[in-house]
């Protein structure tokens, strides 16, 4: 009991007036009359809610096939229907408050009833409307207790008490209330920032008229703007002077200039890549350093290449700016490849094109534009005549496509069907007998 005495003495200024008010209401006929008025207001609100709820739902609900912002807003409005009854009770009580004060000379019970109805609205909001787990957690452990304290008239005194409790860290002083306010505001702001970032990213990706690089740049710019605004707003809510943030930004700029040159260079190079759009996600590239593969991701620091065998190579963005880059594909552009083969010297070379080209042209992936398959005489070898067959395809000859293999099969089949011999090396050995033998 000795340990509880100091705590009770501190809470007495808060709880004492509330207990005195409760005793006065319990013995006052005017207070009981106001309680009856509150019950009637709630009953009337329930009756009106049962009649108006279905009609409002039918009026607000859009058609199932409706799309767009207005239809989405109407669907969101339907979620607010559970608030109808407590808000009607709050409105009816507010309309009758002036009459009650003139009739009874006091409206303290009516004011308390308004706060209770507001608490019921908050409770319905948390229980029936909030579906996001994080928001429901905040509503259950922050919003509901605050609404309950407000209904009991204790929110103001407890807030003042928390403001009086201060924490000191060197020359920095802040109250417990400021710490709580900053934690709640920070969590809510950065959740809202994450949600806004997802919505803006989905909207930007859905714009088919923009190049992929432009969409990626717009997504990153929106992300930086959203979280930057959230950070500055949080600093303002917590009462932190933004000039200190400016000084910190200046120091950070010096640090970037001295010790983070590579990171800054890669970041700026990434922005340049996104703006120019010469290389983008989906392109197959090869760098001077030997790295080659399909770009599957472009971040602020590096590009991720996926090789034919499924390995990922992380290449800093600076390498795409300062070194020579071969881009084999620009979002599905055509590429030319060739295969080589050899025929016997006894072959009718004038007729060879009529044998090979139709077989290659019949392959579904071989293009007729910008140029159809072309057969060229490459040289005269030791065992036969060398030919090169050039063809165009819409894509990259990689482990997934295997264009060259299918073309070689087509050439082999055409030559076999026409009876054209494909030579192999021969060696003639002459045995000479010596003159004295």
Residue 150, exposed/middle/buried by CB under 10 A (0-12, 13-18, 19+)?
Answer: middle
Asked if 301 and 263 touch (Cβ cutoff 8 Å), the reply is: yes
Q: By three-state DSSP, how is residue 407 classified?
A: helix
Split at pLDDT 50, 70, 90, the class of 362 is: very high
Asked if 49 and 87 touch (Cβ cutoff 8 Å), the reply is: no
How many angstroms separate the CA atoms of 187 and 185, rounded? 6
Domain boundaries, the chain: 8-164, 177-261, 335-418
Alpha helices in 238-334 (DSSP H): 242-259, 261-276, 317-322
Give 57-65's long-range contacts (Cβ < 8 A, gap of 24+).
57/81
What pLDDT does residue 8 have? 47
Residue 268, exposed/middle/buried by CB under 10 A (0-12, 13-18, 19+)?
Answer: middle
Angle, helix 176-205 to helix 155-164, in steps of 10 degrees: 100
Instruction: Give the pLDDT confidence of 285-310 residue by residue, as tens digits.
Output: 888 888 888 888 887 788 899 887 88
How many angstroms separate the CA atoms of 130 and 139, rounded? 8
Torsion angle of alpha carbons 64, 70, 76, 77, nearest 10°? -100
| Predicted confidence (pLDDT) at residue 254 exceeds the cutoff of 70 | no
| Predicted confidence (pLDDT) at residue 64 exceeds the cutoff of 60 | yes
Q: For the whole model, what pTM was predicted? A: 0.48
Q: By three-state DSSP, how is residue 385 classified?
A: strand
What pLDDT does residue 246 have? 63
How many angstroms separate the CA atoms of 366 and 360, rounded? 7
Instruction: Give the pLDDT confidence of 149-205 residue by residue, as tens digits.
Output: 888 777 888 888 877 777 776 666 677 777 787 788 878 877 777 777 777 777 777
Q: Top-level CATH class of 335-418?
A: alpha beta
Asked if 185 and 238 touch (Cβ cutoff 8 Å), the reply is: yes
Give the per-residue SS3 of 105-153. Answer: CCCHHHHHHHHHHHHHHHHHHHHHHCCCHHHHHHHHHHHHHHHHHHHCC
Instruction: Give the pLDDT confidence of 95-153 residue by residue, as tens digits.
Output: 766 666 666 666 677 777 788 888 888 888 888 888 878 888 888 888 888 888 888 77
What pLDDT does residue 217 have? 67
What pLDDT does residue 392 have? 92
Asked if 367 and 393 touch (Cβ cutoff 8 Å), the reply is: yes
Instruction: Give the pLDDT confidence of 377-394 residue by residue, as tens digits.
Output: 999 988 889 999 999 998
């Amino acid at each position: 009991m000795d340990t509880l005495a100091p705590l009770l003495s501190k809470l007495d200024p808060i709880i004492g007036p509330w207990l005195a008010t409760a005793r006065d209401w319990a013995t006052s006929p005017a207070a009981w009359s106001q309680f009856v008025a509150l019950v009637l207001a709630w009953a009337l609100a329930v009756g009106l809610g049962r009649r108006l709820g279905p009609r409002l739902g039918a009026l607000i609900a859009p058609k199932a096939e409706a799309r767009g912002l207005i239809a989405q807003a109407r669907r969101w409005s339907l979620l607010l229907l559970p608030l109808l009854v407590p808000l009607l009770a709050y409105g009816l009580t507010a309309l009758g408050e002036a009459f009650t004060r003139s009739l009874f000379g006091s409206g303290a019970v009516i004011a308390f009833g308004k706060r209770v109805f507001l608490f019921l609205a908050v409770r319905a909001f948390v229980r029936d409307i909030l579906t996001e787990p994080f928001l429901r957690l905040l509503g259950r452990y922050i919003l509901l207790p605050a609404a309950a304290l407000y209904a009991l008239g204790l929110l103001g005194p407890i807030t003042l008490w928390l403001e009086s409790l201060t924490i000191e860290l060197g020359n920095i002083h802040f109250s417990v209330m400021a710490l709580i306010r900053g934690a709640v505001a920070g969590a809510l702001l950065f959740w809202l920032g994450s949600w806004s970032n997802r919505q803006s990213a989905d909207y930007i990706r859905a714009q088919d008229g923009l190049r992929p690089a432009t969409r990626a740049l717009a997504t990153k710019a929106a992300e930086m703007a959203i979280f930057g605004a959230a950070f500055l707003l949080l600093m303002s809510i917590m009462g932190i002077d933004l000039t200190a943030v400016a000084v910190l930004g200046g120091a950070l700029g010096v640090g970037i200039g001295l010790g983070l040159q590579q990171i800054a260079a890669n970041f700026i190079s990434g922005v340049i890549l996104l703006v120019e759009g010469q290389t983008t996600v989906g392109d197959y590239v090869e760098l001077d350093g030997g790295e080659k593969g399909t770009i599957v991701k472009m971040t602020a620091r590096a590009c991720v290449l996926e090789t034919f065998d499924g390995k990922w190579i992380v290449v800093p963005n600076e390498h795409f700016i300062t070194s020579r880059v071969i881009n084999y594909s620009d979002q599905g552009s055509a590429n030319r490849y060739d295969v080589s083969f050899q025929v016997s010297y006894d072959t009718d070379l004038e007729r060879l094109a009529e044998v090979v080209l139709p077989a290659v042209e019949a392959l579904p992936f071989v293009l007729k534009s910008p140029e159809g398959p072309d057969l060229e005489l490459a040289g005269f070898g030791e065992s036969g005549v060398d030919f090169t067959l050039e063809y165009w395809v819409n894509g990259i000859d990689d482990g997934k496509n295997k264009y060259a293999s299918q073309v070689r099969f087509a050439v082999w089949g055409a030559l076999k069907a026409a009876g054209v011999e494909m030579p192999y090396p021969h060696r003639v050995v002459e045995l000479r007998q010596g003159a004295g033998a």
